[in-house]
Amino acid sequence: DIQMTQSPSSLSASVGDRVTITCQASQDIGKYLNWYQQKPGKAPKLLIYDASNLETGVPSRFSGRGSGTHFTFTISSLQPEDIATYYCLQYDSVPPYTFGLGTKLELK
């Protein structure tokens, strides 16, 4: 099974900061990686699919890059409503789908 190593596990940042989260796959997954945002008590929301494609309706301050084994997710200017936990998901070699352990983003 493919393992996804996500870092950091938590992150404290200020409004307006640039925030970057990384996911490393245990083997080449091409561009088959998504990024999700999850707020407390809510379902995960798809933000980025196929590593770098912005889901319809998602603000352009969110972006994704990478291919193969190394991926990054960036919020260009952090907004208060972005406070959430973020997860990556690989779907190259499925089943099983495998998620990163999550990054909890907090306001400084």
Partner 1 sequence: EEQLVESGGGPAKPGGSRRLSCAASGFNFRNYAMNWVRQAPGKGLEWVSSISSGSSYVYYADSVKGRFTISRDNAKNSLYLQMNSLRAEDTAVYYCARDWHGLDVWGQGTTVTVSS
Write out the residues near partner 1 by the rule CB under 8 A. Answer: 32-34, 36, 38, 42-46, 49-50, 53, 55, 87, 89, 91, 94-102
User: Which of 83, 99, 94, 82 lies closest to 35 in space, CA to CA?
Assistant: 99
Quote the least distance from Cβ 15 to partner 1, whole Å: 26
User: Which of 97, 91, 103, 96 lies closest to 38 in space, CA to CA?
Assistant: 103
| 15 vs 101 by CB, closer to partner 1 | 101
| 17 vs 53 by CB, closer to partner 1 | 53
Quote the least distance from Cβ 102 to partner 1, whole Å: 5
- C-alpha 79/C-alpha 18 separation (Å) is 10
- C-alpha 16/C-alpha 92 separation (Å) is 34
| 17 vs 92 by CB, closer to partner 1 | 92
Task: Supply φ then ψ for residue 4, to 5 degrees.
Answer: -115, 120
| 77 vs 96 by CB, closer to partner 1 | 96
